[in-house]
Structure 1
Amino acid sequence: MKALTWQGRRDVRVEDVPDPRIEEPTDAIVRITSTAICGSDLHLYEVLGPYLKPGDVLGHEPMGIVEEVGTGVTRLKPGDRVVVPFNIACGSCWMCDRQLYAQCETTQVTAEGKGAALFGYTSLHGSVPGGQAEYLRVPHAQFGPIKVPQTGPDERWLYLSDILPTAWQAVKYADTPPGGTLAVFGLGPVGQFCARIGRHLGAGRVIGLDLVPERLEMARRHGVETLDVSQLDDVPGALIDLVDGRGPDAVIDAVGMEAHGSTSGKLAQTAAGLVPDRLAD
């Protein structure tokens, strides 16, 4: 099959790789129909390179059609349309019982001190082949994949794999009081979701901050107040002035580490990406 593979820093290629197969009774094979590119894939392109090896298959936001299931998978059948979440969880351990799926004790990468295994995301998270491919082996398919209706375009469902839950969780954690004010720094994809979800969940005002005109305009189209930070000398002061001299009730940082504009931060990320594998290990 064809798959997007990591070959080195800033070097990703579509290559022929072996088709996945059922390895455990709880596996499923999914034929991928759509897969998104996440902002965190930029980390693999740069700073997390030491934890990848040439040929690793990338991607963690896929959906598709179930082709085959293991003997332990009873909730799915060939032909089902599913969205596959980023994290891999068993659904029955102590952590999963408490809905802490990203810390699943069955798939935890304890050797690296990390939580649950993740699709397509370095040896730190289990080196599990990812979803930017024609087919994907899905471990713990008795729990993870989300069945969705057969109708509607993939774009209606695809974002359930990662980016929409990421934004939803950020808004829930921000805990804006009903009718309160939420500020969202960064109006890229996650920030746009946060702003709209904030309105949906009852924030009285949502203020989005960015410096890209198209992003600011998109937010305004969806009822979000905006601040163009490129036109401000004092961003905190402008926010305070906008909200009765006291500032917003809650703030979400959705800028992302590659976009923070810090020269020293960029230098540190670049240097980390050049660390030899033997030192990174």
Structure 2
Amino acid sequence: MKALTWQGKRDVRVEEVPDPVLEEPTDAIVRVTSTAICGSDLHLYEVLGAYLSPGDILGHEAMGVVEEVGEEVTHIRPGDRVVLPFNISCGSCFMCDRQLYAQCETTQVRAAGKGAALFGYTSLYGSVPGGQAQYLRVPQAQFGPIKIPDGPPDERFLYLSDILPTAWQAVQYADVPAGGTLAVLGLGPVGQLAVRIARHLGVERVIGVDLVPERLQLARDWGCEVVDLTDVDERGGSDSSDGVASALLDLTSGRGADAVIDAVGMEAHGSPGAKAAQTAVGMLPDVLARPLIDRFAVDRLNALNTAIKGTRRGGTVSVSGVYGGEVDPMPMMEMFDRGLQLRMGQCHVHRWSDDILPLVLDDTDPLGVGQLATHVLPLQDAPEAYAMFQAKTDGCLKVVLQP
């Protein structure tokens, strides 16, 4: 089969690789009909390469048609159409019983000290081959795959694999009070969906922050006020997080938003020192880079610092952007003094899927998922699509690949 493989920093290639086969009675084989490039895939493209090996298959947003199932898989069968949550969970362990599916104890990668295994996401999360391929082996298929009806196009369902429940969880964690204000930092796919979900769930005022004109306009189209990062960077002097936070304070009577979602993560704009450190570590051989990333890694914390400074006293910071640092400095005195709540983590996809599926099935498409993709391309074009998505050129917001 053909699959997108990692070969090095900013070097991904579509190659012929062996077809997957059933390995456990709880496995399934799925023929992938659509797969997407996620913003967190760009971390693999740039800063997390030390945990990848040449030939690793990328991708954790996928859906398709069941081709084969193991003997312990009974809720789906060949021919069924399914969406595949990006985290691999058993559905019955201590953590899964508490709907903490991203911490599944059956698939936890204990050797790396991490939570549930993920499709296509480094040795830290199990080195499980990913979904940017023609076929995918699905472990824990007795629970994981979400069966969907035939008929509607893939674009209506694909985002149930990750970004739609991730945005839903971010809004739920934000817990915006009635009549409150929510700020969303980063208007990529998760940020855009968070804006739409918040408005759908009745949040009266949403403020989005980004620097890409097309993304700012799209958020406006969904009833969001916007702050253009390029207009406020200078207000913060050497720390642009101060400038954005000041803008949020100005828009909220000097108080700050009731809740702020950080939908950016470890590669935030405006953190030159941390970017230099990430770049330096990325130039080291993997055997040296891995312990540095594991024990001494730093993130570009501009977005998180903005979220902390832009939230009102007693408010909530909800983090959906991926972070990987171990020694990142945190403004603990400010957080403690202002009584902030901080909620974060990988999305527990199955926890939210029953709430979201009726909206996806609604022909009015209330969250606009059918129009989120700006580029639908053949799998063969994936290398160019990665470069375009990272550079944010050609109005690229979301890329869907069709194997």
TM-score with structure 2 setting the length? 0.68
| Equivalent position of 2:324 in the other structure | none
| Equivalent position of 2:260 in the other structure | 251
| Equivalent position of 1:268 in the other structure | 277
Shift in Å, 1:88: 0.4
Contact 1:61-1:158 within 8 A present in 2 as well: yes
Shift in Å, 1:274: 2.3
| Equivalent position of 2:128 in the other structure | 128
Shift in Å, 1:260: 2.1
Q: Does 1:42 align with 2:51?
A: no
Letter in 2 for 1:47: V
Between the aligned partners of 2:281 and 2:119, the Cα distance in structure 1 is: 22
**Any idea what the Cα deviations from partners look like across 1:96-144, whole Å, max 9, x if unmatched?**
1111111111111101100111101111111100000000000010100
| Equivalent position of 1:239 in the other structure | 248
Shift in Å, 1:247: 2.0
Shift in Å, 1:149: 1.1
Between the aligned partners of 2:262 and 2:169, the Cα distance in structure 1 is: 13
Shift in Å, 1:275: 2.8
TM-score with structure 1 setting the length? 0.97
Shift in Å, 1:273: 1.9
Shift in Å, 1:68: 0.4
Alignment of 1:1-281 (within 5 A): 1-232=1-232, 233=235, 234-279=243-288, 280=290
Report sequence identity in percent.
Answer: 76
Shift in Å, 1:276: 1.7
Where 1:141 maps in the other structure, the secondary structure is coil
Letter in 2 for 1:84: L
Q: Which moved more, 1:206-215 or 1:20-29?
A: 206-215
Between the aligned partners of 2:179 and 2:159, the Cα distance in structure 1 is: 27
Between the aligned partners of 1:200 and 1:182, the Cα distance in structure 2 is: 13
**Any idea what the Cα deviations from partners look like across 1:209-260, whole Å, max 9, x if unmatched?**
1121111110111111112222222332322222233221111111232242
Shift in Å, 1:278: 2.0
Contact 1:46-1:269 within 8 A present in 2 as well: no
- Computed over aligned residues only, the root mean square deviation of the Cα atoms, in angstroms, reads 1.2
Contact 1:183-1:248 within 8 A present in 2 as well: yes
Between the aligned partners of 1:240 and 1:264, the Cα distance in structure 2 is: 26
Q: Which moved more, 1:146-155 or 1:233-242?
A: 233-242
Q: Which moved more, 1:244-253 or 1:159-168?
A: 244-253
Between the aligned partners of 2:254 and 2:273, the Cα distance in structure 1 is: 33
Between the aligned partners of 1:4 and 1:229, the Cα distance in structure 2 is: 34
Letter in 2 for 1:239: L
The number of residues matched between the two structures is 281
Between the aligned partners of 1:271 and 1:145, the Cα distance in structure 2 is: 40
The structure that is helix-richer by fraction is: 2
Which runs of 5 or more structure 2 residues have no equivalent in the other structure?
236-242, 292-403
Between the aligned partners of 2:192 and 2:24, the Cα distance in structure 1 is: 39
Where 2:4 maps in the other structure, the secondary structure is strand
Letter in 2 for 1:17: V
Which runs of 5 or more structure 1 residues have no equivalent in the other structure?
none
Where 2:3 maps in the other structure, the secondary structure is strand
Between the aligned partners of 1:231 and 1:274, the Cα distance in structure 2 is: 33
Between the aligned partners of 1:228 and 1:235, the Cα distance in structure 2 is: 9
Between the aligned partners of 2:173 and 2:83, the Cα distance in structure 1 is: 24
